[in-house]
Amino acid sequence: MKSVAYLAVIFMAWINIAVAGDVAVVNATAFNNGNGTYRFTVTLRHADDGWKHYADNWEVLTVQGTVLGIRKLLHPHVNEQPFTRSIRSVRIPAGIKEVVIRGHDKVHKNGGKELKLKLPGR
């Protein structure tokens, strides 16, 4: 009987992980600050289900995969989906005209729908 209950708990934990899935970047904007830095505003969608499985950051990357900036998310957004957060000052090297926005969650890590974004003023 105990082994059946144990298996049920494991199954329910697996279901919770499977349901939340990867983070999807659903929208992003960039604003040229005029000093070689950009402000990014990003909207994410993720089925956060509590402290053990939530979208915990998003990144600004070059198309080649170099991380230029990270916006950490310090708590779950269970009842706020999708949600939008910004990062004010990401230095973008000269010559880069497009970046990738990628989401991250505590269970699946990087993954889900990414978004390519052309930089204004480049």
User: Per residue in 30-76, pLDDT tens?
Assistant: 999 999 999 999 999 988 788 888 888 999 999 999 999 999 998 88
C-beta of residue 33 within 8 angstroms of C-beta of residue 89: yes
In angstroms, what is the C-alpha Rg of the chain? 17
Query: Beta-strand (E) ranges in the chain?
Result: 24-32, 37-45, 55-62, 67-72, 83-91, 98-105, 109-110, 115-118
pLDDT band (50, 70, 90) for residue 100: very high
| 57: Cβ contacts below 8 Å, ≥ 6 apart | 70, 71, 72, 73, 103, 104
pLDDT band (50, 70, 90) for residue 96: very high
Q: Please, what are the domains in the chain?
A: 2-118 (2.60.40.150)
- Beta strand 109-110 with 55-62 is unpaired
pLDDT band (50, 70, 90) for residue 85: very high
Specify the range with the lowest mean pLDDT, choosing from 17-26, 40-49, 91-100, 103-112: 17-26
What pLDDT score does 12 carry? 47
pTM: 0.80
What pLDDT score does 110 carry? 87
What share of the chain in percent tops pLDDT 90?
57
Whether the bond into 120 is cis, omega within 30 of 0: no
The pLDDT of residue 117 is above 90: yes
Residue 104, both tokens = 């991250």
